[in-house]
Amino acid sequence: MYNDPKLENGPVVLVVEDDLFFQMLIKRIFSTQNINSIYAENGAQAIIRLNTTPGITHILLDVNMPTMDGYSLLEYIRSQQSLDHIHIFMCSAHPEKHFMDGAAKKSIDLGNVKKYFEKPVDFNQLVSSFAVSK
């Protein structure tokens, strides 16, 4: 597993993901990499976490979720100047459905999304992305 020394202080990642198995995998990987993580199962829960948890540096955001999807959460984040500093990474099991359309391109053009990951995620690449964007 990739272990980057730039992560020694550990970023704080809000993982917005409705798949509990994927949450468990992320938690296990992050715990070995000095990456602090908090979790939300949809965009609505993520808004609560963003407003009540100081120090969030990154968001790992699933696209398809119940209640409030990833793109709706992106719109909220864009409307909040206080969240401009957060690095956002999106992931989906259906990249051809999400990442090739106009919404994905719009997100990148606005600087909100640093990178898109296809599930299953390459965890080495994911961890190294957090180090680069620190």
Q: Give a yes or no: residue 105 inside a domain.
A: yes
Count of domains observed in the chain: 1
Res. 39 pLDDT band, cuts 50 70 90? very high
* Sequence-ordered alpha helix ranges (H) in 1-134: 20-31, 43-52, 70-79, 95-98, 102-109, 123-132
Q: Give a yes or no: residue 126 inside a domain.
A: no
pLDDT of residue 8: 53
Q: Give a yes or no: residue 127 inside a domain.
A: no
Q: Give a yes or no: residue 80 inside a domain.
A: yes
Name the more confident of 87 and 134. 87
Q: Give a yes or no: residue 95 inside a domain.
A: yes
Strand partners, 62: 91
Q: Give a yes or no: residue 93 inside a domain.
A: yes
Q: Give a yes or no: residue 133 inside a domain.
A: no
pLDDT surpassing 70 at residue 51: yes
Q: Give a yes or no: residue 31 inside a domain.
A: yes
pLDDT of residue 86: 92
pLDDT surpassing 50 at residue 57: yes
pLDDT of residue 91: 87
Look up the CATH number of the domain holding residue 33. Answer: 3.40.50.2300
Name the more confident of 33 and 59. 59
Could you tell me if 88 and 115 are in contact, meaning their C-beta atoms sit under 8 angstroms apart? no
- What is the overall mean pLDDT for the chain? 81
Determine the structural domain holding residue 63 and report its residue range.
14-117
Res. 123 pLDDT band, cuts 50 70 90? confident
pLDDT of residue 132: 67
